[in-house]
Amino acid sequence: MLVWFLPLFLLFLMVGLPVFFGLLAAPGIMLWLNGQEKDITLLYRNVYNGMDSFPLMAIPFFMLAGEMMNRGGITMRLVEFSQACVGHFKGGLAQVNILSSMLFAGLSGSAVADTSALGSMLIPAMEKEGYKRKFAAAVTAASSVIGPIIPPSGIMIIYAYVMGESVAALFLAGIVPGVLVGVGLMAVTRYLAKNGEYPPSRPRASWGEKGQASLKAFFPLLTPVIILGGILGGVMTPTEASAAAVAYAMIVSMFILRSMTLKDLPDVLLKAALTASVVLLLVGAAMAFKTVVSLSHAPEALAEFILTLSNNPLVLLLLINLLLFIVGMFLDAGPAIIILGPILAPIFISLGVHPVHFAVVMSVNLTVGLATPPMGLVLFVASSVSGEKVETIARAILPFLAVEIAVIFLITYLPQISMTVPWLTGHIACTEGATYMQCISPEPIPR
Amino acid sequence: MPVILLAARALAAFNAPVLAVGRGIAIVLMALMVLVILAQIFFRFVIGDALNWTEEAARFMMLWVAGVAAPTAYRRGGFVAIDMVVLMMPRIIGSLLTLFLLFLALIVLVVGVQIGWGEVTGFGGRFATAALKYPTDLGFETWVKVPRSWMMASLLVGVTSMAIVNVELILRAIATMAGREADLPVIPESASVGAE
């Protein structure tokens, strides 16, 4: 009977109960009906224990660092740098928008922050230069999903914590897919610019201009180096690296660029605190939910059902990608990972998909969902920043979504794309004597 | 309806300043969390003497950040939900559904308060934290370990404040159903927040 908590949870979710309450109400009601009242106390304890986590602290810290960088005018410098690098390409400002998102991704890890920071600056600029507003908003929304793919990434920290994976391995596995999405979007922009009526490109920046823009962007661009260098060098844990990123962002914004004052600090800290509180409660509730998932044997039942559809992991991966894509249309990436990770990951790991590979496929797929209608979070942010209707942006974003879907399939069926960097840096645990392929794509676990 | 409006205004008058204090505490704790972790890095790599209390202190503060900031996020509509069905329904049915969901959330929170109180005052709360200590005299000569219940109280405070906010939201939903939304005090900002 306990297994009925899953449909009940889905029902609560569909009718609009906040995810936090749904994660607790559905298992709580079923435990109560099952006469297991004492286990409801266990739910509460697991919420608390789930929140009491040092690795999770990295989420508010990375958000804080990104917010400080943004307040400190660092976004502007990234845009100027991108302008000097790719402003002369076909579809100039659109290319600048995409490259800026890739660079911003290395600082913040949040698609929403990316859309609001870059959108408020670049959408009016693109419109002024002759781009249609809906196109400018669509490019901003589509490229912002790179934020949580290229490290640091809030949703990857959540995945790593909920599923007990290495944050460093997930961060590393996200680099190539993130760059791939960026390059793909740039290629589509180039194609659209060639065949559309976009304004002429700007003249190529001189070496002097490039040098000046690089100098101005030097300190902000050092942030991902500090974060990843600290983690990969074994010098710092991801949480420590995130705190170091906050300190660095503060020093750059307040003392080097002098573009943020002490007065701005409380607001920046409050934003991070509010985000932290919601994410922590959500993760805590997810850990409680996960306990009931295990108690109910729901994953086993679901696995049996999924395996009746096909035994071929490739077919199942296709089906799961479709499922994740549909889920991503309605639910934000964080809660979706929290809910589906503990249910789906064990099934695919037993089929021979590496845990880190599955984590990346799931994270990228659900992140792309942030830009898909009807409930894509960044579509709404892009709409509020640009003043364009959500449905208009949703239509304009379709060519970019096609590229992102193609990347999802590439990383699904070619684990080498995401797994090589963590393998090269020794962040994938391999059995002794295992070859590269055996390491990144292990044998299925006999059932 | 006047009674509902009066109660909604009274709860708003209570919640607004209380949650503002919570936000102030959250701001200070966030700053302290960063400082404590930076101290951890500094002592380990520069001084060569790792501090044993920093990680626990930062977790202590993070739990309290969640406890005092979450009610504000909840009051401002910052909890992630799929509100598509509610928006698609006829106004009156949508409002009734919203009310039902708020009551369901209230049940979760009240059960949370009950269990939370039992946890904080019960067996688990009697243990001490591993490394956190506080002085018992002004001369800082005697130090005692911080009870775990101080840490556990963060979630209790959070769910209690959210339950009070929830009651305010229920009253607001009833007033809105009766077409008296304009007579309610305005709640600033309304955006969901998350790790995306």
Q: Closest Cα partner for B8 from B100, B102, B91?
A: B102
Pairwise pLDDT comparison (A35 vs B82), residue with the higher score: A35
Cβ of A154 within 8 Å of Cβ of B195? The answer is yes
- Residue A444: pLDDT above 80? no
Which amino acid, residue B141? E
Cβ of B86 within 8 Å of Cβ of A243? The answer is no
pLDDT at B195: 62
Q: Which residues of A touch B86 (CB under 8 A)?
A: 15-16
DSSP state of A331: S
Average pLDDT over residues A377-401: 89
Q: Is B83 on the interface with A (CB under 8 A)?
A: yes
pLDDT at A178: 96
CA distances, A341 to each of A26, A63, A147, A367, B45 (Å): 18, 23, 20, 14, 36
pLDDT at B120: 93
pLDDT at B137: 87
- pLDDT tens column, B102-126: 999 999 999 999 999 999 998 888 8
- pLDDT tens column, B46-67: 888 888 899 999 999 999 999 9
Taking residue A289's Cβ as centre, other Cβ atoms within 10 Å add up to 27
Among all residues of chain B, which has the CA nearest to that of A237? B41
Give the whole-angstrom CA distance, residue A398 versus residue A431: 43
Among all residues of chain B, which has the CA nearest to that of A155? B195
Give the whole-angstrom CA distance, residue A347 versus residue A232: 30
Q: Which residues of B touch A158 (CB under 8 A)?
A: 195
pLDDT at A1: 64
Q: Are B190 and B75 in contact (CB under 8 A)?
A: no
* pLDDT > 90 in chain A, percent: 35
Q: Mutation target for B interface from A43, A167, A235, A277: give the one with most B CBs within 10 A.
A: A277
pLDDT at A182: 96
Q: Is B194 on the interface with A (CB under 8 A)?
A: yes
Shortest alpha-carbon distance between residue A283 and chain B (Å)? 11
Nearest Cβ partner for B69 among A236, A265, A277: A277
CA distances, B142 to each of B57, B135, B151 (Å): 19, 6, 21
Cβ of A18 within 8 Å of Cβ of B79? The answer is yes
Q: Is B187 on the interface with A (CB under 8 A)?
A: no
Give the whole-angstrom CA distance, residue A207 versus residue A280: 47
Taking residue B142's Cβ as centre, other Cβ atoms within 10 Å add up to 10
Nearest Cβ partner for B38 among A59, A247, A272: A247
Cβ of A59 within 8 Å of Cβ of B195? The answer is yes
Among all residues of chain B, which has the CA nearest to that of A21? B105
Give the whole-angstrom CA distance, residue A358 versus residue A146: 18
pLDDT at B191: 56
- Residue A440: pLDDT above 90? no
Q: Closest Cα partner for B74 from A46, A317, A21?
A: A21
Question: Cis omega before residue B71 (within 30°)?
Answer: no
- pLDDT tens column, B121-146: 988 888 888 888 888 888 888 899 99
Average pLDDT over residues A267-290: 89
pLDDT at A336: 87
pLDDT at A160: 93
Q: Which residues of B touch A18 (CB under 8 A)?
A: 79-81, 105
Taking residue A36's Cβ as centre, other Cβ atoms within 10 Å add up to 15
CA distances, A193 to each of A91, A115, A128, A131, B12 (Å): 5, 22, 17, 10, 53
Contacts of A206 (CB under 8 A, 6+ apart): none
- pLDDT tens column, A226-260: 888 888 888 888 899 999 999 998 998 888 888 88
pLDDT at A313: 79
B positions 93-132 inside 8 Å of A (CB): 97-98, 101, 104-105, 107-108, 111-112, 115-116, 118-119, 124
- Residue B192: pLDDT above 60? no
Give the whole-angstrom CA distance, residue B135 versus residue A438: 56
- Residue A2: pLDDT above 70? no
Contacts of A59 (CB under 8 A, 6+ apart): A154, A157, A158, A275, A276, A279, B195
Q: By CB neighbour count within 10 A (0-12 exposed, 13-18 middle, 19+ buried), where does A307 fall?
A: middle
Give the whole-angstrom CA distance, residue A95 versus residue A428: 34
Cβ of A17 within 8 Å of Cβ of B101? The answer is yes
Cβ of A276 within 8 Å of Cβ of B69? The answer is yes
What's the whole-model pTM score? 0.85
pLDDT at B193: 59
Contacts of A212 (CB under 8 A, 6+ apart): A84
- pLDDT tens column, A361-376: 999 999 999 898 877 8
B positions 16-55 inside 8 Å of A (CB): 23, 26-27, 29-31, 33-34, 37-38, 40-41, 45, 55
pLDDT at B189: 65
Q: Mutation target for B interface from A8, A10, A15, A384: give the one with most B CBs within 10 A.
A: A15
- Residue B190: pLDDT above 60? no
Query: Would you call A240 helix, strand, or coil by DSSP?
Result: helix
Q: Which residues of A touch B63 (CB under 8 A)?
A: 48, 51-52, 280
Cβ of A272 within 8 Å of Cβ of B30? The answer is yes
pLDDT at A197: 66
pLDDT at A355: 92
Nearest Cβ partner for B195 among A45, A331, A334: A334
Question: What is the interface pTM, i.e. ipTM, of the complex?
Answer: 0.93
Give the whole-angstrom CA distance, residue A102 versus residue A97: 9
